[in-house]
Amino acid sequence: MKKLRRLGLVLLFALMAFVVVGCSCVPTEEDPTMGYLEEAQGKIVFLGDANNLKQDEQLQDTVIVQDADGNRITVKVAWSISKGSEYLKVEKTAEGKTMLRVTRPEGSEQGEATLVATLTIEGKDGSKTREFTIYIAPAPRALTVAELFEAELNQDVQGEGIVTHSWEDSSGVLAFFKDETGSFFIYRAKSDHPERVKPGAKVSVSGTRKNHYNCQQIAGDTPRITVLEDAPAAGYVYGDLGPAKNAAEVEAMGQDIHLPGTFVRLTGKAVQKTEGQYTNSYLDDLASGKSISIYYGGHPQGLADFNAKLDKYVELDAVLYSYSGGWRVSVIPGTVVEVAAPELTDEEKVAAAIGNLNTTFPENYAVYKNVKLPTTSALDEAIAIAWESDNAAVLSKTGAYSRPDATTTVKLTATITLREVTETVELTFLAPVHDVSTIAEVLAMDPANKPVVHVQATVTGVLKDGIVVEDSTGAILLYGSSYGGAKYGDVVDVIGKRDAYKGLQQLAIITVDVTTPGEGYDHASKAVEKTVAELCAIPATDLTNIGKIYKVSGKLAVAGKYNNYYIAAADDEAEGADGKLYIYYNNMPEALNQFDMPQVGRKIDSALLVVMGHHDDDKWRYVLIPESVVFTALNDAETVALAKKYLALELPAGKEVDKDLEFFAEAPVAHATCTILSS
């Protein structure tokens, strides 16, 4: 009997040992691996729409967990498809990213697939898996170009056609394509073989129906181009484009939405003009004063060909791209040639100079600030233009402007003289006066009508290309770099045009005058403390969120092709911009200089942000307040690690040395001094 009891105890202990060893999901002192994997299993996420997936998605490669001492443990993630491989494929890109490629099913039914994540720790035995059931949205029917024009904005569309003009930029492929019903545009599309997207190739295109000015297009988050048939070896034949048109003749074609994609032969003088902080290229028709913009974002080789002929009369072939105050075109490479300048008599030159003035200053030309009145003409260096005003108190003969008490009309007379020829022209200017509106009233206006408004407000956010202002009813972004040097806390008087750029509500600046200089703005006392998740959850339609001041904590992150700065939640280990706060790239240097690349990943105790507005990319954009970022203090080991990052940035491995190296004695690490020794 005692032997039976002993045998029973032995079996009981053996069973207990088996249960402890077998249940390896609980970390033990000997090997906590499975516990780490289980924790990582709960952290892994699929960022796409699993209920109706339409586009490729990036998958996370790692999950970070911590051991009992706070040390980071990297858990690797391998992805596979256990069901529905006809719809989903896992692929590594040349940049090392893991992408889930999507092939949407034909017809009206969703496809179903199972995505499997396998988690392991390098050098450790054991693994964990997590499955995601993914439902794939059916592919839209391929539409004709005529049907694409009729499709509703923001709906998913698909089409087919022959590429007529294409180029690449850093974000993807841009191309016009056509079928027998018309021509359409696809903007910054992804392609497995972008080098094959050439004029003459037959392609399938997909994405979201959008429009930009009058250029109807396929765009969205992930537009795609698939080459169905390669372009012919002989190239694409554009056909007879007819006689060359000048800018005035192109202007007379109108602004119809079906015109983008039209090929034209153009002639004029190649010039560049500085406009604010940008220098842009134009094809000028000196006789009419009209210009065609050579689109800076068009075919890069075509733009280079054009800029190589500056100050020359040229002829070129181009495609109409979009109309925004005038036509913008993309130049077909290899078509820009010099031609003889037109010969005009003195009478024709003076008449053309009058035409230029009428074009520049149409009847009742609205004036809100000083006007630059030309005194010469590019038509002939001997042309002289003299001015007289019938109301110099509002608009003088030199173009000096003073705001009147009520809307006033001013007539200026220009006398144009070229040798023996003299002519005069009378031009009418309007100096409008607008009642002061509240910002709430401005936000309620339809930006499509672009009304000019007058507001008075206080500056709460300052950017390189605008300011955020508030009054007692709300806040709005004033867009433009000409904001008169306004600073935080200044009270400003603003004339602006109500606008919305890709969903970003704003006033395009006409004038900004500081009426009461401020002494800064107390953001800290007015800030509302919120989590990153709470701010990301605020809907784009909530215009009352514009100008709100928030205090947040988290950690510094970068995302996107431009490595823009974001503030992420402290426990956010996912790549990409989703669920993070976008610090607008055009913040002032004194704000952005609070961040740098070696500090990416470092925790932030607090930072003050002002909401500048919401963009179509589904992200609120933020002004970062200077001197507001407080990083979490580092321990000694973290300080040394950060100092090494700075050193690696300054002296990367493999750096070629062709002169004396300058070593820094102290690393620029906040809250600590770290001496760097060199031999």
pLDDT tens digit sequence for 499-512: 988 788 999 999 99
Phi-psi region of 597 (alpha: psi -120 to 50; beta: other; left: phi over 0): alpha
Mean predicted confidence (pLDDT) in 474-478: 96
610 falls in which pLDDT band (50, 70, 90)? very high
Predicted confidence at residue 517, as pLDDT, reads 96
DSSP conformational letter for 139: P
Residue 7 confidence (pLDDT) above 60: no
For strand 384-389 and strand 408-418, is the pairing parallel, antiparallel, or unpaired? antiparallel
Report the C-alpha gap between 671 and 679 in whole angstroms. 26
Same topology between domain 247-338 and domain 523-631: yes
Per mean pLDDT, which of 4-13, 234-243, 415-424, 492-501 is the most reliable? 415-424
Question: Long-range contacts: 439-447, Cβ < 8 Å, 24+?
Answer: 439/469, 439/470, 439/471, 439/473, 439/474, 439/475, 439/476, 440/473, 440/474, 441/473, 442/476, 442/498, 442/507, 443/474, 443/476, 443/505, 443/543, 443/546, 445/498, 446/498, 447/498, 447/499, 447/500, 447/505
Cα–Cα distance between 475 and 489 in angstroms, integer?
14
Q: HSE (CB half, 13 Å, CA atoms) of 317?
A: 15
Beta strands in 170-214 (DSSP E): 172-179, 182-189, 202-212
Q: What's domain 439-516's architecture?
A: Beta Barrel (2.40)
Kindly list the distances between the CA atom of residue 282 and the CA atoms of 111, 292, 311, 380, 419, in Å, as whole numbers in the listed order: 50, 6, 10, 19, 29
Tens of pLDDT, residue by residue over 83-95, are: 999 999 999 988 8
When pLDDT is averaged across residues 275-302 and rounded to a whole number, the result is: 91
pLDDT (0 to 100) of residue 162: 97
CATH topology of domain 523-631: OB fold (Dihydrolipoamide Acetyltransferase, E2P) (2.40.50)
The stretch 606-616 carries a mean pLDDT of 92
Confidence category of residue 673, pLDDT binned at 50, 70, 90 = low
**Whole-number pLDDT of residue 168:** 95
Q: Quick one: pLDDT at residue 30?
A: 66
Place of tokens 């200017």: 429
According to the model, what pLDDT value does residue 637 have? Answer: 82
Residue 304 binned pLDDT confidence (cut-offs 50, 70, 90): very high
Which helix or strand (DSSP H or E) is residue 359 part of? Answer: helix 346-360
Task: Flag whether pLDDT at 280 surpasses 60.
Answer: yes
> What span, in angstroms and rounded, lies between the C-alpha atoms of 383 and 511?
32
Distance CA 114, CA 413 (A): 76
Instruction: Return the bridge partners of 184, or none.
Output: 177
pLDDT value of residue 405: 95
Strand locations in 547-602 (E): 549-559, 564-568, 581-583
Residue 219 in tokens: 């765009």
Of the ranges 27-36, 475-484, 665-674, the best mean pLDDT one: 475-484
Give the pLDDT score at 77. Answer: 94
pLDDT tops 80 at residue 24: no
At residue 551, the 3 state secondary structure works out as: strand
Given the structure tokens 């000196």, which residue do they identify? 286
Task: Find the DSSP H helices in 400-522.
Answer: 439-443
Name the class of domain 346-431: mainly beta
Q: What is the pLDDT of residue 272?
A: 95
The DSSP code for 484 is T
Q: Assign 660 a pLDDT band (cuts: 50, 70, 90).
A: confident
Helix (H, G, I), strand (E, B) or coil at 16: helix
How far is Cα 45 from Cα 543, in angstroms, rounded to an integer? 31
- Mean pLDDT value of segment 582-606: 94
Q: Is pTM, for the whole model, over 0.75?
A: no
Range 142-229 has CATH code 3.40.50.720: no
Average pLDDT along the chain: 89
Query: Of 184-188, 197-201, 667-671, which range is least confident?
Result: 667-671
User: Is residue 268 within 8 Å of 301, Cβ to Cβ?
Assistant: no
Instruction: Quote the distance between the C-alpha of residue 627 and its chain's center.
Output: 26
- At residue 540, the pLDDT reads 87
Distance of alpha carbon 594 from alpha carbon 610, whole angstroms: 16
pLDDT of residue 671: 47
Mean pLDDT of 173-201: 96
For 569-618, strand residue ranges (E) read 581-583, 603-615
Residue 178 pLDDT greater than 90, yes or no: yes
Query: In the chain, where are the structural domains located?
Result: 27-136, 142-229, 247-338, 346-431, 439-516, 523-631, 635-679
pLDDT in tens, 449-473: 889 999 999 999 999 999 999 999 9
pLDDT tens readout for residues 321-361: 999 889 999 999 999 999 998 888 999 999 999 998 998 99
Query: Nearest Cα to 495, choosing from 401, 391, 589, 561?
Result: 401
Burial readout 532-566 (b: 16 or more C-beta within 10 A, e: otherwise): beebbeeeeeebebbbbbbbbbbbbbbbeeeebbb
Q: Is the pLDDT of residue 3 over 70?
A: no
Contacts of 264 (CB under 8 A, 6+ apart): 241, 245, 250, 317, 318, 319, 320, 329
CATH 1.10.3680 applies to domain 247-338: no
